[in-house]
Amino acid sequence: MRFGILGETRAWHGGGEVPLGGPARRALLALLLVRPGEVVSADRLAEEIDPAGTRSAHSLQSQVSRLRAALGDGAAIERAGAGYRILVDPQHVDASRFERLAGEGRAALADGDAGRAVVLLTEALELWRGPALADLPESETARAAAVRLEEHRLGALEDRIEAGLRLGEHWAAVPELRELVARHPLRERLAGLLMRALSAEGGQAEALVMFEETRRHLADELGADPSAELTALHRELLSADPEPTPTAPPAQLTSFVGRADEVADVAEMLRVARLVTLIGPGGVGKTRLSVEAAGLVGTGAAAGGPADQVCFVELAPLRDGAGLPQALLAALGLRQNGLQMDGGATTPVDRLIAALSDQVLLLVLDNCEHLVDDVAGLAARLLTTCPRLRVLATSREPLGIIGEHLFPVRPLDADAAVRLFSERAAAVRRGFTAGPGTVRRICAALDDLPLAIELAAARSRTLDVDDLAERLDDLLGVSRGNRTADERHRTLRSVVAWSWDLLSASEQRAARRFTVFVGGATAESAARVCGIDGGTLESLADKSLLDAVGGRYRMLETIRAYGAERLDEAGEQDSVRRAHAQHLAELVRTADPHLRRAEQLEWLPVVAAEHGDLLAALRWAVREPEVKTAFELLATAFTYLWIRGASASVAPTAIELLTAVGEAVPDGLGEEYATCVLLAASASGDAGGQVWQRHRAAAGKALAAAWPGDRRGRHPVTLLLWMMRNAVGPDPQGAYELVSSQRDCPDPWARAAAHYVSGFGHLGKGDPEAAEDAFGRALDGFRSLGERWGTALALGSLADTAGARGDRTRAIALTDEALVLTGRLGALEDSADLLVNRGDHLAGDDPAAARTDYAEAAALARRAGSSTYLAAALRGLGDMALAEGDLALAEQRYTDALERTDPHWIKSLGPRVRALTGLGRVAAARNHHAEARRRYRQAAEAADTVGAPVPEVLRMLGLARDVIESVLKAAAPGR
């Protein structure tokens, strides 16, 4: 019999739960189980079961008898002196088992075995079903035991999280740690773990703010300073270099057989060459070899090679080269657009170049053959502009660019092939034995191709090895000698077809339908789209048709290509793709409201995991055409695309959709149409601008009709982004009024956004008090929803108003708070923006701190590939140089900043105006008065593009009074 007191008191016997009866009996059992086998006095039992004292000794004895009857022969309760005890093995009680497993897990962690620690501690924590001893809320004995158990539980949680961090699971740990730190703000170990996790995810600024918050809590509540360990971690983070976390090579679930020499040779080749391409037929093992070689380079184990950072990019899911730069940005952990939607002023390739320009990185591009021309062009440009970058590519053909070193990947040698088959067969069939001659005959028939060998070995679970060899002989007609790559590919295709034909009809149906998933799928998604049950998925995985990793099933590209042909032959392609698109639409529709609430950090990775399939569903819907589905997919995914900075990935599809429907707004889809126009406008180059000019007016009318102010539309994020896109343009006032009119809208996010926008209107009219009130209302609205990005926006604007009235202390505190939130979102661009703002607040009193903020902002902007925010940081550094009298350096900084600004983008307005005024001040200091007036006029003209009075715009940008007067005088001589 098993017992549980980590939650409500429960007992299980055999395969079911034992009914214990009423609360008195459950409480009695719980008290006896606190320390199994120890005597508990009858007086204490009676008192703690009934603190009011209404139970007699006879009543207690009656409850004991009833409990004995309920437990039957599963456990004995015996009378011992003046009390009772229960005779059970302590390991049959969940609390005792928890303490043992937690202790073993902690010991494994101390011994450096993080993997075993995670297993033990997870098993221990899964025993908890609720608060310990929940049936005894008023018992002193139970309360003391519960406190001890809960403390032990928290320690086990800390140990398990630390073990996960040692295994690199930083992203998964951050949400849980935030919640724990909020509940236990004085627990330094939790704070330290969160700081490490945030820093590993690129959130160094937030990690530093976390230290300050913990330090304040300790001082306010305990009058104590942080421990030496936490202080040392703080120093470590201060000296660290924050950067985004690239996608690591995929973890391998099987051993690596043979090719040790090839791994070393590839690593050595990468030491002297900047582009190495592994070439060979499908299934020969190029991907696995690239993973192993990258691991060797990444650890610095390659002879004479540095410990490069490694980023692995899987290109098989891409259908064409248009999404190639975005795929690289995503793998590098960078947003394709900043959260502010820069309107395509910076192309994805430009962002890649900016991010990689000074990084020491090995970029692994896997499965290039179907995009070989696009990959070659991008790789050549990156290698030319990023001197510390190396590229390792896998392809069936060379990229064909200057400097490429080719490494042909050949089939396994005979001994390695036999060993691979034997190991894989033993994994699926216990006690597998076979004569080496028979196994060698099988491997030779398969041309010693690793994928073909693994597919055949998976069949040894149900086929005798001799029977397997005979079937392969019949299938392939074994030939000897050296075969060409094309013949080997035909061999592999034959083995895939053979493995396919051995599947049952239901398994074949499931496998061919699964091919619609380009990025893999959860069991739930596979069931919804393809009607596949979990048992069939497991069966396909057992037969090596699917890989199961991290709760998702994936299909190797070679098998997927074959299955897609079978799907088309079966006439199921349209129906399954329609089901796939409908499933994606349902998923993003479900996620969308959560992304504007406190749950956004939980839902972002859920949608991000389906990003490749979202793009595939969109392409199918546009080209089918399923116009309604396409518009709804784009609109419901807009919040996700905006927060992740991934709008550029769908911009070409959005343009294609608008081209197909023309300028007439589809009935009932006006708001979706406007969202599509915004997404299309984020395309790089002239394409986005042309679409914007052609569709802006119609989209604006459709959006206004969808949000009349007295009722809510469907997509509130579109409102705010519409205003930001129109803020510098022909009708900024109209866009402003559309959003600000939503102050009484039923949608709470739209109301908060309306108050936020209204604040700028009040600033433009010279009413800072009303602006601060509006920003405060926006802050309250976003905070009530738990929405971090909107909250950060409002905090930043409140910081600006506080700084404008001279309250720099409050301005800095508000900016720090906003930095925490952008760090949680992983928004490097917005963190850079806030650091520049903080530098502006600090510049008057602490120029050294301001310079540090500007420099850190520049570093973050470069890593994010953001020219807009790099311009802002360079402008700040120009101010520092000017204040120190270094006119040449100041001019250089201002000029560099000006070259990076976009005159049509709202977030570039401040850097542009201030860089122009800076150049004017440099010219004035040199007594070049005509040049100074020219620059001041340019600054005034730039400020005049937002529809607000130029003096107010200049004041909003925080320029000093004498600078504002100089600009106005130059703009209007004689006034």
Structural contact between residues 184 and 154, judged by C-beta atoms closer than 8 angstroms: yes
Q: What is the pLDDT of residue 434?
A: 86
Q: In the structure encoding, which two tokens stand for residue 751, read together?
A: 């109301």
Q: Which of 323, 383, 767 is nearest to 518 (CA)?
A: 323
Strand order of the sheet with strand 16-17?
Answer: 2-4, 10-13, 16-17
What sign has the CA pseudo-torsion 594, 595, 599, 602? positive
Question: Pairing relation of β-strands 552-554 and 361-366?
Answer: unpaired
Residue owning tokens 């510049």? 843
Q: What is the pLDDT of residue 141?
A: 79
Structural contact between residues 863 and 830, judged by C-beta atoms closer than 8 angstroms: no
Structural contact between residues 374 and 324, judged by C-beta atoms closer than 8 angstroms: yes
Q: In the structure encoding, which two tokens stand for residue 965, read together?
A: 């007067």
Can you give the pTM of this predicted structure? 0.65
The radius of gyration of the chain's CA atoms, rounded to the nearest angstrom, is 33
* The pLDDT of residue 242 is above 70: no
pLDDT band at 245 (very low <50, low <70, confident <90, very high): low
Residue owning tokens 């034909």? 501
At residue 81, φ and ψ (nearest 5 deg) are 60, -125
Helix (H), strand (E), coil (C) string for 539-553:
HHHHCCCCEEECCEE
Bridge partners, residue 159, by sequence = none
CA distance 613 to 515: 11
Q: In the structure encoding, which two tokens stand for residue 184, read together?
A: 């236990």
Q: Which of 164, 34, 144 is nearest to 99 (CA)?
A: 34
CA distance 630 to 612: 15
Structural contact between residues 338 and 830, judged by C-beta atoms closer than 8 angstroms: yes
Q: What is the pLDDT of residue 42?
A: 83
Q: In the structure encoding, which two tokens stand for residue 5, read together?
A: 């007191």
CA distance 952 to 882: 24
CB atoms within 10 A of CB 614: 27
Whether residue 732 is preceded by a cis peptide bond, meaning omega within 30 degrees of 0, is: no
> Of 137 and 854, which is predicted with more confidence?
854
Rounded to the nearest 5 percent, the helix, strand and coil shares of the chain are: 65, 5, 30
Percent of the chain with pLDDT over 90: 37
Q: In the structure encoding, which two tokens stand for residue 500, read together?
A: 């396919």
- In order of 33, 324, 499, 576, 626, the CA distances from 622 in angstroms are 64, 20, 35, 16, 6
638 CB-side CA count, 13 A: 28
Q: What is the pLDDT of residue 305?
A: 45
What sign has the CA pseudo-torsion 294, 299, 301, 302? positive
CA distance 166 to 333: 20
Q: What is the pLDDT of residue 55?
A: 55
Q: In the structure encoding, which two tokens stand for residue 30, read together?
A: 């719980």
Residues 6+ away with beta carbon under 8 Å from 934: 920, 970
Q: What is the pLDDT of residue 687?
A: 78
Whether residue 226 is preceded by a cis peptide bond, meaning omega within 30 degrees of 0, is: no
| Tens of pLDDT, residues 276-314 | 999 988 888 899 999 999 988 877 655 444 456 899 999
Mean pLDDT for the stretch of residues 316-324:
84
pLDDT band at 344 (very low <50, low <70, confident <90, very high): very low
Bridge partners, residue 392, by sequence = 276, 364
| DSSP reduced 3-state for 948 | coil
CA distance 708 to 10: 56
**DSSP codes joined into one string, 519-574:** S-B-HHHHHHHH---HHHHHHHHHTTSSEEETTEEE--HHHHHHHHHHHHHTT-HH
* The pLDDT of residue 241 is above 60: no
Mean pLDDT for the stretch of residues 528-537:
92
Packing angle between helix 94-110 and helix 140-166, nearest 10 degrees?
A: 30
Structural contact between residues 673 and 666, judged by C-beta atoms closer than 8 angstroms: yes
Q: What is the pLDDT of residue 917?
A: 95
DSSP state of 746: S
Report the range out of 92-96, 259-263, 757-761, 879-883 with the highest average pLDDT: 879-883
* The pLDDT of residue 348 is above 70: yes
CA distance 630 to 611: 15
| Tens of pLDDT, residues 630-671 | 999 999 999 998 887 788 789 889 999 999 998 889 999 999
| DSSP reduced 3-state for 418 | helix
> Of 300 and 563, which is predicted with more confidence?
563
CA distance 759 to 736: 11
Angle at 87 between CA 86 and CA 89, to 5 degrees: 120
Structural contact between residues 784 and 748, judged by C-beta atoms closer than 8 angstroms: yes
Q: What is the pLDDT of residue 844?
A: 86
CA distance 879 to 483: 68
pLDDT band at 586 (very low <50, low <70, confident <90, very high): very high
* The pLDDT of residue 3 is above 70: yes
Q: What is the pLDDT of residue 685?
A: 66
Q: What is the pLDDT of residue 428?
A: 85
Angle at 786 between CA 524 and CA 773, to 5 degrees: 150
Bridge partners, residue 86, by sequence = 77
**DSSP codes joined into one string, 310-362:** EEEEE-TT-SSGGGHHHHHHHHTT--SS-TT--TTSS-HHHHHHHHHTT--EE
* The pLDDT of residue 59 is above 80: no
Mean pLDDT for the stretch of residues 612-624:
94
CA 466 to chain centre: 48
Q: In the structure encoding, which two tokens stand for residue 145, read together?
A: 């035991």
* The pLDDT of residue 729 is above 70: no
pLDDT band at 343 (very low <50, low <70, confident <90, very high): very low
CA distance 344 to 537: 42
| Tens of pLDDT, residues 386-445 | 888 999 999 988 999 999 999 999 889 999 999 999 998 988 888 888 888 899 988 888
